[in-house]
Amino acid sequence: MTLQTRIHAARRPPVVLIAGGAGFIGSHLCDALLQRGNMVICLDNLSTGTIDNVRPLLNHPNFRFVEHDVRDPVEIDDDIDSIYSLACPASPRHYQTDPVGTMKTCVLGTINMLELARRKGARVLQASTSEVYGDPEIHPQPESYLGNVNPIGPRACYDEGKRAAETLMFDYHRMYRTEIKVARIFNTYGPRMLENDGRVVSNFIVQALRGEPITIYGAGTQTRSFCFVDDLVRGLQLLMESPASVTGPCNLGNPHEVTIEAIAREVLTYTESASSLRFEALPKDDPKRRKPMIETAAQTLGWRPRVELKDGLQATIAYFALRIAGDAPTLVPDIAPRRTGRAARSQLRIADPAR
Ligand SMILES: NC(=O)c1ccc[n+]([C@@H]2O[C@H](COP(=O)([O-])OP(=O)(O)OC[C@H]3O[C@@H](n4cnc5c(N)ncnc54)[C@H](O)[C@@H]3O)[C@@H](O)[C@H]2O)c1
């Protein structure tokens, strides 16, 4: 950066690009960064995210939506200070629909974000995942654990794709001194999850609210630890704003571990639902235990999750109850493979006929 560019940058609000900004986590990040006075460029191909997630922001003077697929190189005229690289289908149902497309999103998408960061002199944060640990043999998982991933299984397009994305981040850092941050995100839940993407919390809540049986895969004894989206978004911001020497990888998740059956029973309690539990076969390569060690985040960022599972579940239940009652418009992306943003928009099924 030249001195002139630095002076200009110091006078304007920080410009942040969020790839995947119309998704579940990305849209909460858009909200949080706008509230802090940032300029936000939300870049998304609307494949698993929906424009509804950012619709209230579209008229905000500091917000811009760009429909684009990160597998294609991106050119943005504005100065950019930081890039959150979140664009990737996140639920197994979505990422397994087009596994080759998922791998390309992880690899080409990350390269395109890193190249953009290089051109703009921006720092870049990659949304990696606890899936890089695979079906872990040690518990809880510290960042130093190298993982137990099946490279040829049905989850590999995502798990290995995200591992390759981490590799790219560190290679750009070593080769080009790109400022990088790698967040390993553990299961996150909250409002704006999709109803139909097969993730545990949204599945359970929707089934309970509809009075349908709650589907548990396996015996329900496998564990997960669920982080509320507000906590996660705060952690991502703290990591992005940490000193340049902090590259990660950094686990972000809630270490409160619960069995899948226990969470189903909590959902039944808070929804006051009479749904029964239905046990089905465990999908291949489903991890048995998952719990983050968050000492790195606690010590370097001063971050710990604050939202109790009970409160987070109730907020999420309130959101889905509104959707199911029809108070919120329901844009349900189908899960067919798609390539371009424009095509993606035309494939969105508008489920609310009133819109
Ligand atoms: N939610 C979790 O529990 C969790 C856990 C670990 C990691 N993550 C990571 O966090 C990120 C966000 O996850 P999420 O839960 O918000 O998922 P999401 O599916 O709601 O959001 C992903 C967004 O990326 C967009 N996208 C997907 N492929 C794209 C492409 N090729 N080009 C442009 N945009 C594209 C989608 O349209 C969507 O808006 C993902 O990278 C995911 O791997 C999420």
For position 352, what pLDDT does the model report?
Answer: 29
The two three-digit tokens of residue 123, written as one number: 């720092």
Distance from C-alpha of 213 to C-alpha of 153, rounded to nearest angstrom: 29
In a domain, 155, yes or no: yes
Which of 100-114, 192-206, 333-347 ranks highest by mean pLDDT? 100-114
Which is nearest to 205 in space by CA: 256, 254, 258, 269? 269
Ligand 1 centroid to Cα of residue 91, in Å, is: 8
In this structure, how many other beta carbons lie within 10 angstroms of the beta carbon of residue 10?
7
For position 7, what pLDDT does the model report?
Answer: 56
Q: Residue 135 — pLDDT band, cuts 50, 70, 90? A: confident
In a domain, 258, yes or no: yes
Q: Is there a contact between 118 and 178 (Cβ–Cβ < 8 Å)?
A: yes
Q: Residue 16 — pLDDT band, cuts 50, 70, 90? A: very high
Best substitution site from 86, 199, 291 to test ligand 1's pocket, by max atoms within 8 Å of Cβ?
A: 86
In a domain, 328, yes or no: yes
Instruction: Looking at the CA of residue 68, tell me the nearest atom of ligand 1.
Output: 33
In a domain, 83, yes or no: yes
Residue 154 has pLDDT above 90, yes or no: yes
Ligand 1 centroid to Cα of residue 139, in Å, is: 26
- Residue showing tokens 């990040």: 29
- % pLDDT > 90, the chain: 81
158 a catalytic residue: yes
Q: Which domain holds residue 51?
A: 3-350
Ligand 1 centroid to Cα of residue 88, in Å, is: 4
Distances (CA, A) of 49 to 34, 45, 150, 335: 19, 8, 28, 11
Best substitution site from 31, 48, 345 to test ligand 1's pocket, by max atoms within 8 Å of Cβ?
A: 48
Ligand 1 centroid to Cα of residue 272, in Å, is: 31
Ligand 1 centroid to Cα of residue 277, in Å, is: 29
CATH of the domain at 293: 3.40.50.720
The 3-state DSSP class for residue 237 equals helix
Q: Is there a contact between 177 and 114 (Cβ–Cβ < 8 Å)?
A: no
Percent of the chain as helix, strand, coil, to the nearest 5:
40, 15, 40
- Residue showing tokens 């100065």: 79
Distances (CA, A) of 253 to 101, 129, 186: 27, 10, 5
Residue 55 has pLDDT above 60, yes or no: yes
CA atoms within 13 A on the CB side of 292: 29
In a domain, 340, yes or no: yes
Dihedral-angle region of residue 92 (phi above 0 means left; psi in -120 to 50 means alpha; beta otherwise): alpha
Instruction: Looking at the CA of residue 53, tell me the nearest atom of ligand 1.
Output: 39
CA atoms within 13 A on the CB side of 318: 6
Q: 107-132, pLDDT tens digit by residue?
A: 999 999 999 999 999 999 999 999 99
Instruction: Looking at the CA of residue 199, tell me the nearest atom of ligand 1.
Output: 3
In a domain, 74, yes or no: yes
Which is nearest to 170 in space by CA: 109, 114, 119, 121? 114
Instruction: Calculate mean pLDDT across residues 165-190.
Output: 98
In a domain, 355, yes or no: no
Is the torsion defined by CA of 63, 66, 72, 78 positive or negative?
Answer: negative
Q: Is there a contact between 106 and 162 (Cβ–Cβ < 8 Å)?
A: yes
Q: 295-308, pLDDT tens digit by residue?
A: 999 999 999 999 99
Residue 22 has pLDDT above 70, yes or no: yes
As for how many domains the chain has, the answer is 1
**Pocket-forming residues, ligand 1, beta carbon under 6 Å:** 20, 22-26, 44-49, 69-71, 86-90, 105, 109, 127, 129, 185, 187-188
For position 3, what pLDDT does the model report?
Answer: 56
Q: Residue 45 — pLDDT band, cuts 50, 70, 90? A: very high
Q: 248-284, pLDDT tens digit by residue?
A: 999 999 999 999 999 999 999 999 999 999 999 987 7
Best substitution site from 25, 233, 339 to test ligand 1's pocket, by max atoms within 8 Å of Cβ?
A: 25
